[in-house]
A = this chain, B = another copy of it.
Amino acid sequence: MDGTTHPTPARLLALPSWVINQAAIAANRLTDRALAGTSSRRQFAMLAALDEFGPSSQADLGRCTGIDRSDVVAGVNAMVKQGFLQQRPDPADGRRNIVTLTPEGKDHLERLSALIAGAQDELLHALSPSESEMVVDLLKRVLDSGWRADER
Residues of chain A having any CB pair with chain B under 8 Å: 1-3, 6-13, 15-31, 41, 45, 48-49, 51-54, 56-57, 60-61, 63-66, 113, 116, 119-120, 122-127, 131-132, 134-136, 138-145, 147, 149
Check if A142 sits within 8 Å of B52, measured CB to CB: no
Check if A12 sits within 8 Å of B65, measured CB to CB: yes
Taking CB atoms, residues of chain B closer than 8 Å to A9 are 45, 48-49, 51-53, 64-65
Interface of A is mostly: helix
Among B57, B126, B134, B147, the residue within 8 A (CB) of A145 is B126
How many copies of this chain? 2
Taking CB atoms, residues of chain B closer than 8 Å to A30 are 17, 147
Instruction: Please name the residue on chain B nearest to A28 by beta carbon.
Output: B21
Instruction: Please name the residue on chain B nearest to A135 by beta carbon.
Output: B138
What are 14 pairs between A and B in contact, CB < 8 Å? A1-B56, A2-B60, A3-B57, A9-B48, A9-B49, A12-B65, A16-B27, A16-B135, A17-B27, A17-B123, A20-B139, A21-B24, A25-B66, A126-B141
Check if B11 sits within 8 Å of A52, measured CB to CB: yes
A32 to B65, CA, bound (A): 22
A116 to B15, CA, bound (A): 8
**When A17-B28, A52-B9, A60-B6 are in contact, do A23 and B143 touch as well, CB less than 8 Å?**
yes
Task: List 8 tightest A-B contacts by C-beta distance, closest first.
Answer: A24-B24, A126-B145, A17-B27, A6-B63, A1-B60, A11-B48, A1-B56, A23-B139
